[in-house]
Amino acid sequence: MTVTIDRRYRGPSDSGNGGYVCGLLAAQAGTGVGGSGAVVTLRKPPPLDTAMSVVSDGDGLVRLLDGETLVAEASRSRLDVDPVEPVEASRARDAQVDYAGLHNHPFPECFVCGPQREAGDALALYPGRLGDGRTACVWSVSDELAERPEIVWAALDCPGGWSAEIEGRPMVLGRMTALVVDVPKAGEDCVVMGRLLGEEGRKTWTSSTVYGSDRREIGRSHAVWISVSG
């Protein structure tokens, strides 16, 4: 089979949003809502509007190929990370006012957190820092993007990244391990939390959690980010 990343789902202007691509490939690895988690490693920036092959080796490893170039690989995996403690939706909304990406964003067209996207075309998550290593924002779920596990993966992506000072040190997603236990309903206001876990050299480790409006856990993730600024 083939997978094509529509330009709508870009992160950087010329490649797919990492979390969204990871979610698509995780589904091909046999994970699902309430099932096992998956780990996805991005080897190359996922190209846009390009039909890519999805190939399984029969042992649980699924690869995404652009011609003969390995773009990403996924397999089922346990997720050993605690959820990021939530805040009330009102506090998450207050945090969005100080979202650093509103004024200094390395990828302003990002489907998840880009301030230059039109209303209704993207997630519009603006994770503001709480001052304790966490970020918080509210995801108002549209009818079109509700109940889609790959969109939960996307929502888990950038709020973790912004727990680091990504505006001064641009990073891209290198690996993401996630577990989706539920999907949000249309019209639901979800609280999305991120946490900075550590940094060393060009690598940054983060975690994130999506909570439903009733505070149920929808999904959580652990991510490895790679600095692209040297």
Q: How far is it, in rounded angstroms, from Cα 47 to Cα 45?
A: 6
With tokens 């912004």, the residue in question is 162
C-alpha 194/C-alpha 93 separation (Å) is: 14
Q: What is the pLDDT along the chain (230 residues), one digit of tens a residue?
A: 999 999 999 999 999 999 999 999 999 998 878 888 999 999 999 999 999 999 998 778 999 999 999 999 999 999 999 999 999 999 999 999 999 999 999 999 999 999 999 878 999 999 999 999 999 999 999 999 999 999 999 999 999 999 999 998 899 999 999 999 999 999 999 999 999 999 999 999 999 999 999 999 999 999 999 998 64
**H-helix or E-strand containing 143?**
none
Here the tokens at position 47 are 């190209």
Provide the whole-model pTM: 0.97
Q: What is the pLDDT of residue 122?
A: 97
User: 193 and 134 in contact (C-beta within 8 Å)?
Assistant: yes
Non-local (6+) Cβ contacts of 8 within 8 A are: 111, 121, 122
pLDDT digits (tens, 9 = 90+) for 102-114: 999 999 999 999 9
The domains located in the chain, with CATH, are 2-227 (2.40.160.210)
Contacts of 2 (CB under 8 A, 6+ apart): 51, 52, 53, 54
Token duo for residue 116: 């230059």
pLDDT, position 32: 78
What is the model's pLDDT at position 89? 98
Confidence (pLDDT) at 119:
79
**The Cα angle at residue 8 between residues 164 and 39, in degrees rounded to 5:** 50
What confidence score (pLDDT) does residue 59 get?
Answer: 76
